Amino acid sequence: MTYQFEGIYNFHDLGGLKSSDGRNVKKGLLFQSGDLFGATKKDCDYLQSQLKIRTIIDYRNENEQQQNPTPHLKDIEILQTSRVDGPIQISSLLQLDEKEIEQRFQLKVIEAKFREYALNHAAYQPLIEAIRNKKVPILQHCLAGRDRTGTGVFLTYLLLGVRLPLIVQRFIQTQKSFYLQQPPWLQRIVKEAKNPIVRHLILDVNPTFLFAAYDEILNHYHTIDTYFFEEFQLTIEERRHIQDFYLE
Band of the pLDDT at 83, cuts 50, 70, 90? low
Of the two residues 177 and 13, the one the predictor is more confident about is 13
Neighbours of 1 (CB within 10 A): 11
Of the two residues 234 and 199, the one the predictor is more confident about is 234
d(CA 4, CA 125): 29
Cis peptide before 137 (omega within 30 of 0): yes
Helix axes 196-203, 184-192, angle to 10 degrees: 160
Checking if the pLDDT of 137 tops 60, the result is yes
- 110 residue type, one letter: I
Strand partners, 139: 31, 56
For the chain, the distance separating the N- and C-terminal CA atoms, rounded to the nearest angstrom, is 17
pLDDT at residue 53 in the model: 97
Band of the pLDDT at 90, cuts 50, 70, 90? low
Checking if the pLDDT of 163 tops 80, the result is yes
The average pLDDT across 59-71 equals 87
Number of residues assigned to the chain: 248
Cα 65 vs. chain centroid, distance in angstroms? 16
Reference 138, options 85, 64, 79; nearest CA is 79
Contact by Cβ (8 Å): 213, 105: no
Dihedrals phi, psi of 170, to nearest 5 degrees: -70, -40
Q: What is the pLDDT of residues 14-38, one digit of tens each?
A: 999 999 999 999 999 999 999 999 9
Identify the top-confidence range among 94-98, 101-105, 115-119. Answer: 115-119
- Sequence-separated (6 or more) residues with CB below 8 Å from residue 64: 35, 142, 143
Reference 176, options 10, 7, 5, 8; nearest CA is 10
| Longest pairwise C-alpha distance within the chain | 53
d(CA 167, CA 219): 19
pLDDT at residue 122 in the model: 87
Name the least confident of 13-27, 106-120, 218-232.
Answer: 106-120
Torsion 221-241-2-135 (CA) sign: negative
The average pLDDT across 2-22 equals 90
pLDDT mean across residues, the chain? 87
pLDDT at residue 4 in the model: 79
Torsion 122-239-27-211 (CA) sign: positive
Checking if the pLDDT of 91 tops 60, the result is no
d(CA 130, CA 79): 9
Checking if the pLDDT of 127 tops 70, the result is yes
Checking if the pLDDT of 245 tops 90, the result is yes
d(CA 9, CA 3): 9
What residue spans of 204-235 are helical by DSSP H?
Answer: 208-221, 224-232
Which CATH superfamily includes the segment(s) 12-246? Protein tyrosine phosphatase superfamily (3.90.190.10)
**pTM of the predicted model as reported, rounded to 2 decimal places:** 0.89
